[in-house]
Amino acid sequence: MPISSLVVHAEERCHSNVCGLLNGHPAIEVVHVSESAIAIVTETPDGSVDKLLWRQIEALSGVTHLELVYHNFEDGKEYHHVS
């Protein structure tokens, strides 16, 4: 079960909306919000769902980039998020 810590950066005008969308997702916990970034933790059942979730976050209107801070693969399988 992959668990990740990420920092989401969004345009200033979209920051509040992005934070709300992230906060409403069942696989995402918003752990810290600052003026320039939103720190989140994600927990998904497997690497393919994890990869899909990251792409969904990156596709949110106003998101400028996503930074990986920490990633744990509890199931021991190797997954790649880069195509």
The full set of domains in the chain, from first to last, is: 3-72 (3.30.70.920)
Higher pLDDT, 82 or 63: 63
Taking the whole predicted model, whether its pTM rises above 0.75 is answered as: yes
pLDDT tens figures, 31-75: 999 988 999 999 999 888 989 999 999 999 999 999 999 988 665
pLDDT > 50? residue 82: yes
- Tokens linked to 80: 């790649």
Higher pLDDT, 36 or 23: 23
Which DSSP helix (H) or strand (E) runs through 20?
A: helix 15-23
Using CA atoms, how far apart are residues 20 and 15, in angstroms rounded to an integer?
9
**How many C-beta neighbours within 10 Å does residue 38 have?**
23
